Amino acid sequence: MSTTSMPDIVFAILFFFMVTTTMRSETLMVKVHIPTASEVQKLEKKSLVTYINIGPPMDVRLGTGTQMQLNDRFAQVSEIQDYIAQEKASMNEADQPLMTVSIKADEDTRMQYITDVKQALRQAYALKISYSARRGD
């Protein structure tokens, strides 16, 4: 059996994966086990989505209290406005109103924290939000 075409086939698959892959841009520093919901919608354009991760820290030495991760560091709720402004500035002007903030919060988070985050997002005029959830029943 001739296997000379095998590298070509493998290369074709390789290119497919190279093109479709999106490298995990940030390392998660908080444990996020997102809740399940049945009515979820997909977030279409990845470039329009900004992520906020909320959950207990991965590093157990930092305790079990709820922390928020923006980009690659822990942050306070009061820093959200600056973060949103910065993310908005890095976008196309036409895309700015379409910006969506995806709140990836651990399912055991207290609502007080989420509410604070929501209020901060309102103040920052990031009004399109998405509660990140896994599809399931």
Partner 1 sequence: MARTKRKVPPLNGSSMADISFLLLIFFLLVSNMDVDSGLARRLPAPPQTEEQTSVDVQRRNLFIVLVNSQNETMAANQHETEWYANEAELRGEVGGKVALKDRVKEFVLNTANSLDLPELEEQDFGAPIGVVPVTASHVVSIQNDATTSYKAYIAVQNEVVKAYNELREEGARKYFNTSYGELTEMQQKQIQDLYPQRISEAEPKNYGGQ
Q: Is residue 38 within the footprint of partner 1 (CB under 8 A)?
A: yes
- Which of the stretches 56-64, 72-80, 91-99, 122-130 binds partner 1 when contact is defined by CB under 8 A? 122-130
Specify burial of residue 69 (Cβ count, 10 A radius: 0-12, 13-18, 19+). buried
- By CB under 8 A, what part of segment 70-109 binds partner 1? 100, 102-109
DSSP letter (8 states) at residue 4:
T
Among 1, 27, 42, 89, binds partner 1 (CB under 8 A): 42
Could you tell me the two tokens for 108?
A: 């055991």
Q: Is residue 63 within the footprint of partner 1 (CB under 8 A)?
A: no
Residue 55 and residue 107: Cα distance in Å, rounded? 8
CA angle 132, 76, 28 (to 5 degrees): 50
Binding footprint of partner 1 on the chain (CB under 8 A) = 3, 6-7, 10-11, 13-14, 17-18, 20-24, 35, 37-43, 46, 49, 51, 100, 102-112, 114-115, 118-119, 121-123, 125-135
